[in-house]
A and B are shown apart, each in its own frame.
Chain A
Amino acid sequence: MQIVIMGCGRVGSQLANLLFMEGHKVSIIDLDIKSFERLGKNFKGDKIVGFGYDREVLIKAGIEKADAFASVSPGDNRNIIGALVASREFKVPIVVARIYDPVRAIAYNKLGIVTISPTKWGANKIKELICHQDINTQLSLGNGEVEIIEVEASYGISGYKSDKINVPGEIMVISITRLGKSFIPVVGTVINEGDLLHIAVASTAIPQLKRILGF
């Protein structure tokens, strides 16, 4: 893919390197030429000095042929305008904007831009590390509102039907791994001791799930 990144800070430089190492064609824009030092020697993508939503700068960065655009500058408003320029004016199919303020992130989602709020995600993650050390999160969705956790069925819940654990809108057992083979449970599937369960859970329902699992 051809990818344009606006902002070469900690996130921008790391993102650029990750994508470059996977073989993507990456160009990165920043106002300050010094910020490109963060990229290191191995990065061979394009580095463009300039304002992130300046038309000429974006064209120089290859936005007209880009498959994706990410705005990760320190300014929320700059990121949202950059993302809107990419999607609205240059029809870039995949556009992501980093927005620190979670309240604003919701408003901007309405404008059709995928936003990521590291503030909210980070707070959720830290809370989880403090309060739910015994829960093993495999995947955190959105900004951490839904998690997919892995848990080994203890003696206490063996014999339970998997749908007895489910709570509509909050908890759902999505997979059971038994003797190295995974399957999706149906109504009435009985859990055995030692089964590895994958459960989708709303982050607000983690305490409830822990009670059900007998933690």
Chain B
Amino acid sequence: MRILIIGAGKVGINLAMKMAEKKHKVSLVEKNESICDKIERTDNLDIICGDGCDPLILELAGIKAADVVASVTGDDEDNLVIAQLAKLQPNRPRVVSIINNPKNEWLYRKNWGVDAAESPASIVARLIEEDIDKKI
């Protein structure tokens, strides 16, 4: 599969490495140049330094040929904008995303271009809550 990942934070980098290891063709877009420079180069991984909310950068990163777009930046508004732009493409790639602020969860839906989304903050909070309960 061709996978386009936007945002090289902890989630983006881990996801990119994992997918590249599994022989998928991965493009990773990151706007911060110093972060781009630090990413470990491996096979099947292209790094594009630029703003993933810019339609021209997305095109350069190969959005028109992508099977999946993962919008995993640290900003919900950026993730949602990327999802909209992805669904404007004729190939209509599958869009997966992360929810940064659980308050914004209600927007991560199909009519907003998002096919699936996870909320790390809610997931971790739930797991920690379970850990707390165990001690009692």
- Establish whether residues A55 and B106, one from each chain, have CB atoms under 8 Å apart when the complex forms: yes
Residues from chain A with Cβ under 8 Å of B78 in the complex = 77
Interface bracket on A: 20 to 34
Per the CB 8 Å criterion, the residue count for chain B at the interface is 19
75-104 of chain B: CB within 8 A of chain A: 75-78, 80-81, 84-85, 88, 103-104
Chain B residues positioned under 8 Å from A51 (CB to CB): 103
Pick the contact of B80 from A75, A81, A89, A104 — CB < 8 Å?
A: A81
User: How many A-B pairs fall under 8 Å by CB?
Assistant: 44
Contact with A along B96-120 (1 / 0, CB 8 A): 0000000110110001100000000
Whether, in the assembled complex, A63 has its beta carbon less than 8 Å from a beta carbon of chain B, the answer is no
Does B56 touch A at the CB level, under 8 Å?
Answer: yes
A89 to B104, CA, bound (A): 13
| B53 interface residue (CB < 8 Å to A) | yes
Q: Does B21 contact A (CB under 8 A)?
A: no
Task: Describe B's contact surface by its main secondary structure.
Answer: helix
Q: Which of B54, B75, B103, B112 contacts A54 (CB 8 A)?
A: B103
**Cα of A77 to Cα of B6 in the assembled complex, Å:** 15
- Contact partner of B81 among A54, A80, A85, A89, CB < 8 A? A80
Q: B55 interface residue, CB < 8 Å from A?
A: yes
Bound complex: CA A110 to CA B56 (Å): 15
- CB pair A77 B56 closer than 8 Å: no
Q: Which residue of A lies closest to B81 (CB)?
A: A77
**Which residues of chain A have C-beta atoms less than 8 A from B54's C-beta?**
101, 103-104
Q: How far is the CB of B46 from chain A (nearest CB, A)?
A: 22
> What would 9 A/B residue contacts be, using CB atoms closer than 8 Å?
A53-B104, A77-B80, A80-B77, A81-B77, A81-B81, A84-B80, A84-B112, A101-B54, A107-B85
On B, residues with C-beta under 8 Å from A are: 53-56, 75-78, 80-81, 84-85, 88, 103-104, 106-107, 111-112
